[in-house]
Amino acid sequence: MSVAPVSVPHARALEAWRSAAPAAPRACELPVPELLHGFHPDHRPGAMQTLRVGPSAGLPCPAELADLLQADSLVEDVDIAGAPMLDTDVLVIGGGGAGCIAALTAARAGARVLLATKLRIGDSNTVMAEGGIQAAVGAEDSLQRHFEDTLRAGHFAADKALVSALVSDGPDAVRWLIQEGMSFDLTENSQRMGGTLLRKTPGGATAARLLSYRDFTGLELMRAVREATLLQPSIVIMDRHPAMELLTDDRGRCAGAALHDLARGRTVLVRAGATVLATGGSGRLHIAGFPTSNHYGATADGLVLAYRLGAPLREIDSFQYHPTGIAWPHHLEGALVSEAARSSGAFLVNGLGQRFVEELRPRDVVASAILREIAEGRGVERDGSTGVFLDTPSLERAQPGILGRSLVTLTHLAHRAGFDAAAEPFLIRPTLHYQNGGVAIDPSGRTDVPGLLCAGEVVGGLHGRNRMMGNALLELVAFGRRAGAAAAADARGERPRNVGLTHLADWRRALLIQGLSLSRKAPMIFPPYGNFDAATARGKAA
């Protein structure tokens, strides 16, 4: 029987922090492989099971996700019989940053676009991306350095062709965002002269290439692209229409999707020449029991639908745990303190008042170092929650006014928690943040299934086994644009014919051969605590 580690009580830890602040730098003495295998949640005993069916059978996968990937469809032939059918050139599923950008790009290329969202347009992980976007725009930087940094941070598991496309698109992606009306922080001495972009160094990078807007960059990006999407006349937006199943035609091509109209409780079919999945991640599965920073709809729907249609997955056993999620108070667990705080100079301090890792190492290294401090009894305990300190008071003393000027979201978060970040450190611990793997694509965003493309967090191959800060926002711009352009081109070809659910017979046969039950249905649509039963909702619609 394992015994829980004894952590340092909060009051005593505060005394140790005050006596040492600012604590002296101290690197983690464990080699990175040993640190990750000993403390990263992906490597916990029993964390993974092997997929038994589908194009990626044999790959390891978290049990929570494997349960959904190896489930039966929510939709039967009877559910689509007589359902209204809409027709469009390009169907985009997902209304976050990648979905809006794909829709905009396809529409501007001349395609008729239907954008379907589970919640409302803009309700996504994009708005929660606080730190910034990476792009090699500095004179001392280069595309090659960005490429090498990304590969190194991902433990050299990423697809080099995808990484090359990502970093090569970086400078133009930033120019495009500025043209769409997005604001970026400027250096103080350049604001009167038209502005030079302020660049910071993200964790794991060898150059300052992180561009931001205060500490709510994703929200500002989403504002700009959402407004552009709403003003585009050739985009039809269907809010509150989650995808329940993808459609196929008699050639095995993806031919659109069966959506569920949440307001009316009915099935709506969309026939499309090309379909772009931009459904985001899977944090609301709470893998390994962790709280999550993800928005309410992040339930792995896109992975489930693409996999059942025959699209291979990759690195689905790799998830990112953001180092600085709120550990206390309980009602804010999982909310993020942006990496912008550590990029600006905030320290991590254990219950003994000691720093224990270089704060700008890659996220998997920093998160594992924090979990090690907790596991070995050097964490800080407060009201049943255990974490370590993020020393924002020392940052404010070193750079007076930075919390109110540049780290606005952080300051508001502290106020919600009931303390002053300039006087008291945050209690933080890692939170489930990002799905490193996903659907395998080529540099255009196309999958192995004709007619099906993907963009954003649902994609695998760009980050390998760990994502660098700032590459997520770059990814959704770069591959949103690439997938949107490719979808518009594909939709000009032959149109879908004899649309239905022809792929489900083979899928169900494969489940039965492996002894898997047909009673388990997916996608989840909403997390269990949302009290939404997708199967029941579908049954009522029928």
pLDDT, the chain, mean: 94
pLDDT of residue 493: 85
Which CATH homologous superfamily contains domain 77-129+218-318+436-491? FAD/NAD(P)-binding domain (3.50.50.60)
Query: Any bridge partners for residue 236, and if so which?
Result: 114
**Residues with Cβ within 8 Å of residue 508, at least 6 apart in sequence:** 72, 518
Residues of the chain with CATH 3.50.50.60: 77-129+218-318+436-491
Contact 174, 133 (CB under 8 A): yes
1 has a pLDDT exceeding 60: no
pLDDT of residue 541: 47
Q: How far is CA 412 from CA 4, 334, 348, in A?
A: 33, 15, 20
**Structural tokens at position 203:** 């964790």
Contact 41, 290 (CB under 8 A): yes
Residue range 123-151: average pLDDT? Answer: 95
pLDDT band at 5 (very low <50, low <70, confident <90, very high): confident
pLDDT band at 432 (very low <50, low <70, confident <90, very high): very high
105 has a pLDDT exceeding 70: yes
Calpha distance 337→426 (Å, rounded): 9
331 has a pLDDT exceeding 90: yes
Q: Which residue has the higher pLDDT, 1 or 62?
A: 62
pLDDT of residue 542: 45
pLDDT of residue 357: 97
**Structural tokens at position 384:** 């049943």
For 322-361, the three-class secondary structure string (H helix, E strand, C coil) is EEEEECCCHHHCCCECCCHHHHHCCEEECCCCCCCCCCCC
Q: Which residue has the tokens 């962790």?
A: 290
What is the length of the chain? Answer: 542
pLDDT of residue 383: 96
Residues of the chain with CATH 3.90.700.10: 8-30+322-432
* pLDDT tens per residue across span 167-223: 999 999 999 999 999 999 999 875 555 679 999 998 899 999 999 998 899 999 999
* pLDDT tens per residue across span 435-488: 999 999 999 999 999 999 999 999 999 999 999 999 999 999 999 999 999 999
Burial call 157-196: b when 16+ CB within 10 Å, e when fewer: bbbeebbbbbbbbbbebbebbeebebebbeeeeeeeeeee
- How many other C-beta atoms are found inside a 10 Å radius of the C-beta of residue 78? 8
pLDDT band at 497 (very low <50, low <70, confident <90, very high): confident
* Residue type at position 378: R
Q: How far is CA 171 from CA 209, 373, 442, 478, in A?
A: 10, 39, 21, 10
Q: Which residue has the higher pLDDT, 427 or 192?
A: 427
Alpha helices (runs of H) in 21-62, residue ranges in sequence order: 32-39
Alpha helices (runs of H) in 180-216, residue ranges in sequence order: none
Contact 257, 474 (CB under 8 A): no
Four-way CATH pick for 8-30+322-432: 2.40.50.140, 3.40.1830.10, 3.90.700.10, 3.30.2020.30:
3.90.700.10
Q: What share of the chain in percent tops pLDDT 90?
A: 90
Tell me, yes or no, if 482 is annotated catalytic: no
Q: Which residue has the tokens 């799905």?
A: 435
pLDDT of residue 531: 77
Helix (H), strand (E) at residue 235 = strand 235-238
Query: Any bridge partners for residue 388, and if so which?
Result: 428
* Residue type at position 42: D
* pLDDT tens per residue across span 232-261: 999 999 999 999 999 999 999 999 999 999
pLDDT of residue 535: 65
Backbone φ and ψ of 411, nearest 5°: -65, -40
* pLDDT tens per residue across span 118-128: 999 999 999 99
Q: Which of 542, 535, 64, 30 is nearest to 283 (CA)?
A: 64
pTM for the structure as a whole:
0.95
Q: Write down the catalytic residue from 308, 314, 342, 363.
A: 363
Strands (E), 44-84: 48-50, 60-62, 72-73
* pLDDT tens per residue across span 28-43: 999 999 999 999 999 9
349 has a pLDDT exceeding 70: yes
Give the count of alpha carbons within 13 A of 486, CB side only: 22
Tell me if residue 97 falls in helix, strand or coil: helix
Strands (E), 54-190: 60-62, 72-73, 85-93, 113-116, 133-134
pLDDT of residue 4: 58
Tell me if residue 418 falls in helix, strand or coil: coil
DSSP assignment string, 251-262: TS-EEEEEEEET
Q: Which residue has the tokens 């490193």?
A: 436
**Structural tokens at position 5:** 């580690």
